Structure 1
Amino acid sequence: MSEALLQVQHLKKYFAIPGSIFSRNIGKVKAVDDVSFDVHKGEVLGIVGESGCGKSTTGKALLRLIEPTAGQIFFNGEDITRLSEVEMRKIRRDMQIIFQDPYASLNPRHKIEKILSEPLLVHGIGTKESRRRKVSEILEVVGLSGDHAKRYPHQFSGGQRQRIGIARALIVKPKLIICDEPVSALDVSIQSQILNLMEDLQEEFGLTYVFIAHDLSVVHHISDRIGVMYLGRMVELAENEALYKNPYHPYTKSLLSAVPNPDPDIKQERIILQGDVPSPAEPPSGCAFHTRCPECMDICKSARPDFQQVTEDHFVACHLYGDGFG
C-alpha cells in the first residue's frame, strides 16, 4: 500500500442547538463523533451510510469548509487544522471538492469561462490568456467543447453541469478531490457516464478520491476501500471486495442485504432493521447502533466499542469482535 496522503485522527464536528432568543444553547448535534481513517495516494476511499450519518459533514470538515470541533487532519504530513485561513487557502489548491447538486453549485449569473477560471485567479495561476486556454482545455478533458465556455449554467443538462463541476475541481491540478455524492442528483444512465469519466481522470492525472455516497452499488464500482458510517461514527472499514463478501458489522450486513443482485437465481436474505435512526442530538449510550441491532448484547448498551483492526486491513467497531476474535 502506498503512503498516506490524508490522515484523519479522532475528527469531531458538533453543532450547537440554540435555545430561545434569551437562552443559551440547549444541546449539541454530534454530526461527526470521533472518526479516524487514512487515505493513500492514488486510491479511492468510499464513505457510505444512511442520510444524516455525517458523511458529507466529514468531507467538508476535511477541507475545513466547516471547522472541526476537535481532532487532527494531516495532509501530506502537515496538520491543516492548525493553519490560518490564508495558509489554508494555499493548501486548497491541492484539495478540491465536487459538490452533490450540479444545479446549486454553479453561479447562474456567471458564464462557464468565469466559473472555471476563478480558481486559477484565486491561486494566482497564469495570465488572462493562459487561463482562457486552460478553461478550453479542461472542458475538452471532461467531454465538453471549448466553445461551451461562453454559455451560462442554465443552458446545460444536469450531467453536463456535473462535468463542469468536475472541471472546476480539476483545473488547478489537485492531489485530492472530495466527491460529495457527485452522482446522486443525476439519472442512472448519466451516473455511469460520470463515474467512468471520474475513473479515467483518476488514472490520467494520478488523483486520490474520497468518494461519499449512500448508494452501495456506486461505491462498490469505484472504490478501493470502503468506510461505513452510522450516526457520526465509522463502524467498519475494509478493502472493497472484503467488505462486500464478508462484512463484519451488523449494520453493514443490513445495508448490503438491501443491494439488488442481478442474478435472479441467487436468493439473498433481506435484513430489516427495527426502529428509526436515533437523533444525533441524543445518541444512545454505548454502541450507537444497539437500539436497532439484531445481535445486541448487554455490553452494547453501556460500553462504546473501539474501532479496531480484527483482520488484515479490516477494521470494525463492534463488541462481537473482541480480543479473541480470529
Structure 2
Amino acid sequence: MNQPFIEVKNLKKYFPIKKGVFSRTAGHVKAVDGVDFSIYKGETLGLVGESGCGKSTTGRLLLQLLAPTEGEVRYEGKNLVGMNTSELRKMRRDMQMVFQDPYASLDPRLTVGDIIAEPLEIHQMARGKEKDRRIDELLNVVGLSSYHAKRYSHEFSGGQRQRIGIARALALNPKLIVADEPVSALDVSIQSQVINLMQDLQEQFDLTYLFIAHDLSVVKHISNRIGVMYLGRIVELADKRELFDSPQHPYTQALLSAVPTPNPLAKKERIVLRGDVPSPANPPAGCTFHPRCPAVMDRCKTVKPVFQNRDGRFVACHLYE
C-alpha cells in the first residue's frame, strides 16, 4: 500500500476540570487518549463507537479545530500540530468538514449563496460572476438548483440543509473531508440519499473521507476500513469485511452482536455488556474496557494493551498478545 495520506500518532486531548473560586485544575477529561491511525488517498475510514467515546473530538483534532494536548497529525508528510495561523489557513483549503447538525451548522442570517460563498471569499478564490458561477455549480452538484441560492436555510428540510453543508465543504476543492455523523440527524430514507451522494462525490472529485458515525450499518456501507473507539482509544481497526466477519476485540464483538438482522428467523447470540461506560475523567487502569469485558483477565486490570498490527489489522487486547 502507498504512503499514508493522513497519519495520526499518539493523539491526545485532555480537557481541564476547573473547580473552586480560583478555577484551579482539579483533573482532566481524557476525551482522546493516545490514538494512532492512518488514512490512505481515496479511501473512506469509518470511525465508530458509543456516544462520548471521542469520535467527534478526533475529527476536530485532525483538522486542528481543537489543539491537541499531545501527538502528531501528518498531512502528506507535514505535521499540522504547531503550525501558525497563516500556515493552517493554507492547509485548510485541502481539508473541510461536514457537521452533524444541519440545523445548527448553517448561519440562519445568510442566504444559501452567501453560506457557500463564504469560504471562496475568505480564501480569495473567486469574485463577481466567477463566484456566482461556482455557487450555481456546487448547488447542482449536490442535487439542488441555482434558484436555491437566494433562499435562507430555514426554508429547507434536514436533508437539503445537509446538502448545502456538503456544497460548502466542496467549495475549495478539498482533498479530505471529515464527516462528523452527517446523517444521524436525518430520517432513514434521507440518510441513504445523502450517503449515496457522498459516494458519488468521492468518485467524481477523488475525495478522501474520515466518516464518523455510531450506526454500524451506515459505516459498513460507505467505508473501506473501520476503526472502533472506546473511551478515547481505538481498540480495533480493520478492513470492513474482516471486521464484520471476524471481530477480534470483545467490545467490537458486543457492538456487532447488537446490529439487527433483516431476517426475523435468523438466530443471533446477543452479547450484553454489564455496567456503564466509565467516566473519561477517571478511566480505569490497564485496559479501559476491562470492567465490562466478558473475557477479562487479571493482566487486563493493570497493564494497558498495545495497539498492535496483526497481519494488516490492528487490535488492542491482551487475548492476542
Shorter-chain TM-score tier: over 0.9
> Which residue pairs with 1:321 in the alignment?
320
User: For 1:134 and 1:21, how far apart are their aligned partners in 2?
Assistant: 52
> Which residue pairs with 1:63 in the alignment?
63
> Which residue pairs with 2:225 in the alignment?
225
Structure 1 residue 266: Cα displacement? 2.2
TM-superposition CA deviations, 1:276-304 (whole Å, max 9, x none) = 00000000000000000000000000000
RMSD between superposed Cα atoms in Å: 0.7
Q: How does 1:230-249 map to 2 (within 5 A)?
A: 230-249=230-249
Residue 95 (1) aligns with residue 91 (2): no
Residue 149 (1) aligns with residue 141 (2): no
> Which residue pairs with 1:305 in the alignment?
305
User: For 2:2 and 2:158, how far apart are their aligned partners in 1?
Assistant: 35
Aligned partner letter, 2:115: I
TM-superposition CA deviations, 1:58-116 (whole Å, max 9, x none) = 00010111111000000011001121011101100000000000000000000011100
Structure 1 residue 23: Cα displacement? 4.5
Structure 1 residue 243: Cα displacement? 0.2
User: For 1:66 and 1:255, how far apart are their aligned partners in 2?
Assistant: 29
> Which residue pairs with 2:192 in the alignment?
192
> Which residue pairs with 2:171 in the alignment?
171
User: For 2:254 and 2:34, how far apart are their aligned partners in 1?
Assistant: 23
Aligned partner letter, 2:319: L
TM-superposition CA deviations, 1:141-165 (whole Å, max 9, x none) = 0000011000000000000000000
TM-superposition CA deviations, 1:114-144 (whole Å, max 9, x none) = 1001101111102221111100110000000
The DSSP-based 3-state class of the residue aligned with 2:319 is: coil
Structure 1 residue 22: Cα displacement? 2.0
User: For 1:188 and 1:160, how far apart are their aligned partners in 2?
Assistant: 14
Structure 1 residue 263: Cα displacement? 2.4
> Which residue pairs with 1:30 in the alignment?
30
> Which residue pairs with 2:12 in the alignment?
12
User: For 1:302 and 1:270, how far apart are their aligned partners in 2?
Assistant: 28
User: For 2:165 and 2:126, how far apart are their aligned partners in 1?
Assistant: 21
Aligned partner letter, 1:275: G
Q: % of aligned pairs identical?
A: 62
Aligned partner letter, 1:71: G
Q: Which runs of 4+ in 1 moved over 6 A?
A: none
User: For 2:23 and 2:55, how far apart are their aligned partners in 1?
Assistant: 31
Structure 1 residue 192: Cα displacement? 0.3
The DSSP-based 3-state class of the residue aligned with 1:179 is: strand
Aligned partner letter, 2:269: E
User: For 2:3 and 2:187, how far apart are their aligned partners in 1?
Assistant: 36
CA change 1:308–1:144 in 2 (3 A) is same
Aligned partner letter, 2:317: C
Structure 1 residue 3: Cα displacement? 2.9
User: For 1:23 and 1:221, how far apart are their aligned partners in 2?
Assistant: 46
Aligned partner letter, 1:318: C
Aligned partner letter, 1:313: G
Residue 46 (1) aligns with residue 43 (2): no
Please, what TM-score do these two structures have when normalized by structure 1?
Answer: 0.97
User: For 2:171 and 2:24, how far apart are their aligned partners in 1?
Assistant: 44
User: For 1:74 and 1:137, how far apart are their aligned partners in 2?
Assistant: 32
User: For 2:134 and 2:173, how far apart are their aligned partners in 1?
Assistant: 11
User: For 1:176 and 1:125, how far apart are their aligned partners in 2?
Assistant: 18
Aligned partner letter, 1:296: V
User: For 1:119 and 1:295, how far apart are their aligned partners in 2?
Assistant: 50
User: For 2:194 and 2:3, how far apart are their aligned partners in 1?
Assistant: 28
CA change 1:129–1:70 in 2 (3 A) is same
The DSSP-based 3-state class of the residue aligned with 1:251 is: helix
Residue 128 (1) aligns with residue 111 (2): no
> Which residue pairs with 1:289 in the alignment?
289
User: For 1:109 and 1:23, how far apart are their aligned partners in 2?
Assistant: 36
Please, what TM-score do these two structures have when normalized by structure 2?
Answer: 0.99
User: For 2:6 and 2:134, how far apart are their aligned partners in 1?
Assistant: 28
> Which residue pairs with 2:203 in the alignment?
203
User: For 2:24 and 2:184, how far apart are their aligned partners in 1?
Assistant: 37
